[in-house]
Chain A
Amino acid sequence: MIEATTRYFRLHAQNLSGALGRLLRHPLGSLLTVLVIAIALALPAGMRVFLTNVGALSGSWEGAADFTVYLDDAVTEERARELASEIDARADVDQVEFISRADALEDFRAQSGFGEALDALEDNPLPHTLVVRPEQTAVDEMQALAESLDALEETAQVQLDTEWVARLRAMLELVERTVDIVSALVALAVVLVIGNTIRLEINNRSTEIEVMKLVGGSDGFIRRPFLYLGFCYGLAGALIAALLVAAALALLEAPARALAELYASVYTLMGLGWRDTVILVGGGAALGWAGAWIAAARHLRAIEPT
């Protein structure tokens, strides 16, 4: 039992080192194949990273789903504060920010640059305002909340751009679905690239395969080195793909920071992360193994001693 287990692991170790050796003996050809796989895998990986970053950004855009409730001019500040507390207590509301007409005027004076013009006004024309953040951001629920707030006696106007939110969500779903399709196509392409590489390798080694079959090599014994070769191609391609994504992020980091600063914001691009890196590398290796398996199963059977 121990001997059989030792033999099993020894053969696998030999096959793995043999596959690595074969890659190193043909560095240029191996590198080209690995680079093709890496670029193919980097494409969906990069798109996933883009989606992750957009998802994180959209989290900070939740404010875009906030309602701005302009109160009637006749509503006093005391009543406006009471109203803010009442709305904040609702189950379908996450939080309410009260902006008094005086604060609003000060903000406007500071940001608009029309300070002197505002001084010419006799009265503050701005109303008290409530910025309401809903608990749910589903369009139907937001619409219901908006209608409810609009029905209040103190409300002058409710401003909500639900169409913009809906468009954003639809676009994100579309991009996500596109990334899924691209990922599936790229996975198929990687399997085909590795399968074709292994097919050529099998053709180049047909004499060796024939001799192995003649001296009693089983299908599994003959197939295993090719499976490890496919595994190494996929693994190396995926590792380089992860590096390519990291390099692209490093190049985009400074422009993204500069863009965020223009919006008086701070944003750091997110990379693949450990979990996604493991999925990418493991997936690449698995695709390599699968491509090699398909090619070996199809082409090894065709080589028989004559």
Chain B
Amino acid sequence: MIRFEDVYKRYPNGREALGGISFALERGEMAFLTGPSGAGKSTLLKLIALIERPTRGAVIVNRRNTAGVSRRSVPGFRRRIGVVFQDHKLLHDRTVFDNVALPLVIAGFGPRETGRRVRAALDQVGLRGRERDAPITLSTGEQQRVGIARAVASRPDVVIADEPTGNLDPELSLEIMRLLERFNEVGVTLLIATHDLKLVEHLGHRTIRLVAGEIAADGLAPGGSQPHRPTTPHSTSPDRHGSRYRD
């Protein structure tokens, strides 16, 4: 579903954000991306969403090499990816309904189908009945749930999340992660960048640790249960027992 093959990313200012990243995330898999600030987590997610392009190597998402996606085809490519942001990126002059409906309207769904999917998504994140509210009237946690509803409303194959719990307290963070887990349970492939190592350990999913643009560890966090299937010769060997997971 997501495959990185010896991916390098150097920014125009000369900073090398990623240096030879290789890993694969299979359909329906859920993984955390951890590491200190500047390790390359956000860059890696940007390469998946085609916000950035790799300097070298191949990024394959939904069996499509992003190098072959032309500028005109980027919107269509992004419609198959859900993105959750730390700052939610909600439109505050629109209602909750309109925010969640945005990707559906863009994808060309009719009003009836859009309404049905928005209500379903809001139902899944526990915000049914808040359709007419302005995002500004919601709590931070609720705003993040609206962001998640928007990311999953068009039922994308892949959801990536960049520090989705960055602004939340531990309880709300766990709540948001549990919510994302529920989407993973129904088959959505999830890659979540986070600083919250306690939460990662608590949830126990596969964790890819980046340090200075390279994979320092790739394996199950303590308590993890998902299998990891490496698909490229460059992949860091996983350790189901978490022996390579250094935190």
Q: Are B49 and A216 in contact (CB under 8 A)?
A: no
B42 to chain A, nearest CB (A): 10
- Enumerate chain A residues within 8 angstroms of B107, measured Cβ to Cβ: 216
B91–A207 touching, CB < 8 Å: yes
B interface, over-half SS? helix
Does A112 interact with chain B (Cβ within 8 Å)?
Answer: no
Contact bitstring A192-225, B, C-beta under 8 A = 1, else 0: 0000000000000001101111111111010000
Is the CB–CB distance between B106 and A217 below 8 Å? yes
Q: Is the CB of B89 within 8 A of A216?
A: no
A7 within 8 A of B: yes
Q: Which residues of A contact B75 (CB under 8 A)?
A: 213, 216-219, 221
Which chain B residues (72-89) contact chain A, with CB distance < 8 Å?
72, 75-79, 83, 89
Closest to B73 in A: A218
The CA of A306 and the CA of B154, in the complex, are separated in Å by: 22
Contact A215 B78 (CB under 8 A): yes
Is A304's CB within 8 Å of the partner chain B?
yes
CB neighbors of A among B11-39 (8 A): none
| Residues of chain A lying within 8 A (CB to CB) of residue B110 | 3, 6-7, 10
In A85-140, the 8 Å CB interface with B consists of: none
Given A214-B78, A304-B51, A305-B51: A208 in contact with B108 (beta carbons within 8 A): no
| B150 interface hit (Cβ, 8 Å) | yes
Q: Judging by beta carbons under 8 Å apart, are B106 and A7 in contact? A: no
Whether, in the assembled complex, B216 has its beta carbon less than 8 Å from a beta carbon of chain A, the answer is: no
Please report the total number of B residues contacting A with Cβ < 8 Å. Answer: 20
Q: A7, B102: Cβ atoms under 8 Å?
A: no
A306 and B91 in contact, given A215-B83, A215-B103 (Cβ under 8 angstroms) = no
* A305: B residues at CB distance < 8 A: 49, 51
Interface size on A, residues (CB 8 A): 20
Residues of A close to B83: CB separation below 8 A: 214-215
CA distance A218 to B76 in the complex (A): 8
* Interfacial chain B residues near A304, Cβ < 8 Å: 51
- Which of A211, A219, A306 is in CB contact (< 8 Å) with B102? A211
Contacts of A221 in B (CB 8 A): 75, 106
A306 nearest CB neighbor, chain B only: B51
Chain B residue contacts of A10, Cβ below 8 A:
110-111
A216's partner among B51, B72, B76, B111 (CB-CB below 8 A) is B76
- A 137-175 contacts with B by CB, 8 A: none
* CB-based contact A216/B91 at 8 Å: no
The interface residues of chain B lying within 8 Å CB-to-CB of A212 are 102, 106
Complex: A213 Cα to B107 Cα, angstroms: 12
A10 to B105, CA, bound (A): 11
Is A208's CB under 8 angstroms from B106's CB? no
B108–A7 contact, CB under 8 A? yes
Q: How far is the CA of A207 from the CA of B106 in the complex (A)?
A: 16
Contact with B along A1-18 (1 / 0, CB 8 A): 001001100100000000
Are A215 and B150 neighbours in the complex by a CB distance under 8 Å? yes
Rounded to whole angstroms, the CA-CA distance of A211 and B89 in the bound complex is 7
Residues of A contacting B79 in the complex (Cβ-Cβ under 8 angstroms): 215-216
Q: State A212–B78 Cα separation when bound (angstroms).
A: 10
Q: In the complex, what distance in Å separates the CA atom of A238 from the CA atom of B106?
A: 32
Q: How far is the CA of A211 from the CA of B108 in the complex (A)?
A: 17
B62 → chain A closest CB, angstroms: 13
CA–CA, A216 to B83, complex, Å?
11
The answer, among B77, B91, B111, B154, for a CB contact under 8 Å with A211, is: B91
Task: Kindly identify which residue among B102, B108, B111 contacts A215, using a CB–CB cutoff of 8 Å.
Answer: B102
Contact of A216 with B106 in the complex, beta carbons under 8 Å: yes
Which residues of A have CB within 8 Å of B150?
Answer: 215
Could you say which of A208, A214, A215, A218 has the most chain B C-beta atoms within 10 Å of its C-beta? A215
Distance (whole angstroms) from the CB of A213 to the closest CB of chain B: 7
Most A C-beta atoms less than 10 A away, residue of B75, B91, B108: B75
Closest to B85 in A: A214
Closest B residue, CB atoms, query A305: B51
| Complex Cα–Cα for A213 and B71 (A) | 12
On whether the beta carbons of A216 and B78 are closer than 8 Å, the reply is: yes
B89 — which chain A residues lie within 8 A by C-beta?
Answer: 207, 210-211, 214
Nearest chain B CB to A209's CB is how many angstroms away? 10
Contact with A along B106-143 (1 / 0, CB 8 A): 11101100000000000000000000000000000000
Contacts of B49 in A (CB 8 A): 214, 305
Kindly state the separation between the CA atoms of A221 and B89 in the bound complex, as whole angstroms: 19
11 pairs, CB–CB < 8 Å, chain A vs chain B: A10-B111, A207-B91, A208-B91, A210-B89, A211-B102, A214-B49, A214-B89, A215-B78, A215-B83, A215-B103, A218-B75
Known: A6-B110, A207-B91, A216-B106. 20 other contacts (CB 8 A): A207-B89, A210-B89, A211-B89, A211-B102, A213-B75, A215-B83, A215-B102, A215-B103, A216-B76, A216-B77, A216-B103, A217-B75, A218-B75, A218-B76, A218-B106, A219-B72, A219-B75, A221-B75, A221-B106, A305-B49
Interface residues of B (CB under 8 A from A): 49, 51, 72, 75-79, 83, 89, 91, 102-103, 106-108, 110-111, 150, 154
